[in-house]
Structure 1
Amino acid sequence: MQLDGNLVLYPLESEDSPITAYWSTKTFGMNLSLCLFLSATGLLELINNNDSSIYDTINRSFFPEPTYNDYNESSINNNNSTIFSASLDVDGNFRLYAYLFERNGGFQTYPLLSALLNSCKVKGFCGFNSYCTFNDNQPYCACLPGTDFFDPLQNNLGCKRNYSEAHCKGGKANIPFYNITSMQGIVWTTGRFYSKELLSKDACSRTCLEDCNCEAAQFENGICRKQKLPLRYLLRETDAQVNSTVLLKVRIISLEADNGTVPSELKSPKVLIKRKNTTVLILLLTFSLVACSYALLTISGVYIYKFRVLRYKRLLELGNLGLTEELTLTLFSYKELKRATNGFKEELGKGSFGAVYKGSLDRGRQLIAVKRLKKLVEEGEKEFQAEMRAIGRAHHKNLVRLLGYCLEDSKRLLVYEYMGNGSLADLLFKSTKPPDWDERTRIALDVARGILYLHGECETPIIHCDIKPQNILMDDLWRAKISDFGLAKLLMGDQTRTFTGVRGTRGYMAPEWQKNTPISVKADIYSYGIVLLETVFCRRNLDTNVSKPEEVILSSMVYRCLVEKELDKLMLGEEMDKRSLERMVTVALWCIQDEPALRPSIKTVVMILEGITDICISPCPTASFI
């Protein structure tokens, strides 16, 4: 459906222009925003999006071809058990169907209308250098002379030239090498012609035969149009009124056997050996060939051996430090990842530690996200290696999985599984239809379980340091997974707290980051509390676009409503379990307390969210945004 209100069919991988279109409703020029609608009575209607009025009804007048079935239209339309569907079928034709349900539980399908009765008129039905025709009323694709199918089992994929071009001199082709084959009744309307002249048919054939650039020509009504291969959108018509002729230049050797019809200058000269020592000459040639073969094999073996030795030495110089033995990760080369991401072309996001790019492995069957880091070398190679070991061993359904990495010179790249449904921030703050209550409670529990794994179930506890909706990604099953461990901090040995520089994102950072005090896992609890509030109410904790000043800070407003038993007023009529709502809000308010000791552990949070443990009302949190 185009912006001008015209419903048009175009072939795949072609420009949207009138010359490539093969069917349309011709409802353009009204400057209306239209959409296509199928009514319950089987009428295809064009609806004006501005006022929902019916602009036009697509009836038989839009389908120039007659219907191709014999059905009782009145009985279908008067039957309440009839449903309709309109679809763009795999052959490129747009059709309307009726499904009439029977008493025995089955149904019959009636094709009502078809945009094109002649399937060959669907541009793109056949591939390059092939034309569409019919055999027993069935459309099929045939190759032009001088070409063969790319795949004999899939004739619609097109054809390729079955000969090599002969050398040209001074812009003139070697005429004895070529011949002109003509085909009548070929409809060819979308060629990109480089030459157009008024010539006779014989003159058109002769000029194409002599022109190096001409591989095909169309002769119609005294006009000769020349073009190079490939040809596209060809259709063979049996209509006598079609007077178009296609002239194809093909190489003679590829078309004719050497039965005397091939010109003598094309035949290979016969070599006659008249000397008496023919046997000696043959032995010398054989020995020379064998010696050259042995020499080539020896050189190849030495080259392969040196290549593998150099590659092994290079791996040792990269400083892998045994990561591949400790981790179930793949070590990629920088060249592999550059090729997988098409030269780091499609950027998914960017942060303080680098950018993330979309890529694919295994010939496009596995999508990946490649994070190219830019500061890890400056902050310490040993710390990067330690974090790699910890994250590489971390496997949980609510953590984005690390698949591999690249350590090559100063280049540091991480390869993660691709998350196709965006981030939680997009889902909560940008989506036209936010997730319902059940989905939000499930997402909140998914994130809590992921943090629980990092804090208590890993061999080495990990403080993520940057829990926020932008770092919570949704997989294809809409399961929440924590990502971006670029700022994560490990707790070594028996550590429960550690000193480190300020890390995280403003608005989600715990107050202790600014107090120069040791950081513990409770910093992640504070960030999770903010994320939990935003997930429950589908708005940011700090929103300056609200109408009332007391609504700017979400946590303060929520606490007042919790004390006054008016939380349901913030849900704008959404249906939910009030006990579950109070439980989630209370947990969030405990998580964002200023004192880390007052915040619950993530294990307690999970048990409360699952309804296993009760919780009392929290003190009023201090509204601080770092």
Structure 2
Amino acid sequence: MATISPILLIYQQFCSSPGSSLSPSVPPTALPSPSGRFAFGFYKQGNGFKVGIWLSGNNKTIVWTANHDDPPVFLNASLVLTKNGELLLQTGPGEKKVIAHSNNGTIFYASMLDSGNFVLRNKSLHILWQSFDYPTDTMLGGQTLPSRHQLVSSSSDTNHSSGRFELSMQADGNLVLYPRYSGDTSWDPYWASNTGYDTISKYYLFVNNTDSQPLCIVNASSTSGQNILRKMGDSSFKGNKTTAYRATIDFDGVLRLYAHFEDANRKHQVRKLWSPSELDNQCNVKTFFGFNSYCTTNEMEPGCNCLPGTDFIDPSHKNLGCKRNFLEAECKGGKDNMTLHSMYPMTNMAWVDPPYIEDEIQEEQCPSSPITVKADVYSYGVMLLEIVFCRKSLVVNMSNPEQIVLSNWVYKCFARRELNKLVVGEEVDISLLENMVKVGLWCIQDEPFLRPSMKSVVLMLEGVTEVAIPPCPSPDSI
């Protein structure tokens, strides 16, 4: 392992020259800023270590993480600043990851600044690389988030890998909070700054070091310089020259502005200056409570609940969502599997996403369950046949042309009493299979008046009502 070079002492241990290294097991484990407010190096995560930047205080506040989706490293890891301008994380013989690089520039030294920015410089003191250009979930005073760039939340307050939410500085000047992996459509955000103006100007989010404008959106195209379009923050707070401002999209999906400062007793304090008032109710944060769960508000405190038939994946972390608490039904169906399917009423529910199909049915149309399921019986018939035969309703690349359209192929086999051709190699209850096929074929009749009501469909599937022989759903195609 390389030793710390003399230049580190020349810069009072606040800078590091090529050839220097850091290790989680051998001091120094971190490179501090001149005031000691920030540090760069190894921090503890779980049973290992991550490389990042933190605000010093009673507890480390992580503000940046390198390669944040990589797994933690162990005590044998080291950070090495090479002479060709790369900062490498070495985890074993021949195993290395690039943390930072200078684009073929000559590195003179690396340093941790009191702003929280970790930089690589050349001999002319020009910055060749800086952590401020690659934010993770946090912005600090003096840092900008350009148009079309994002912050991504952490998975939790102790795990700094990518989480479920992102903050996007849009090209139109609107600052928006999204669930990650959403479609970025107009109904996907759960909060917006409503500062959208145009797509001609260039906007960016800026964290200021002043009390009057700590968080603002700036028009970079304005002839008057920095044009503050929207100010967000607590104007009653009065900081000082040592106050550090931090804007973070926390793991719960809420953007918050914090101030870090020392009180009269020189103790580190943290104060939340601002967050969107709309998100005081956690139920307004889309997807926070995970799959198969929903949010309720009890005396203004949000709570997470599992849908019927599911339990929490982890009861101690309810926002991870819920999982099925019953055995999975086989695709080909069967009498025993019918007990696994139930309908439950869910009253006073608000659905935030628009439906892809909307067809109201009356409660009395569902006899076994007092539920009001926006459903279309034709769509249900198509889906029923797809589930029974484990294939899509239209498969173009079939070797036999008459098998391309599932409904046509099913009816032909049904009419010829050859349904066994559709379930080759499977052991099935032929009478039950025939019953489900007849129900599916009735549902997809071309003439709407021939299709049964959802009430009749349920009665037929439960065996209460006898199912008549259906006509061909598409006579011209047979």
Give the structure with the larger strand fraction: 2
TM-score higher than 0.5 here? no
Give the structure with the larger helix fraction: 1
TM range, normalised to the smaller chain?
Answer: 0.3 to 0.5
Instruction: Tell me which structure has the larger Cα radius of gyration.
Output: 1
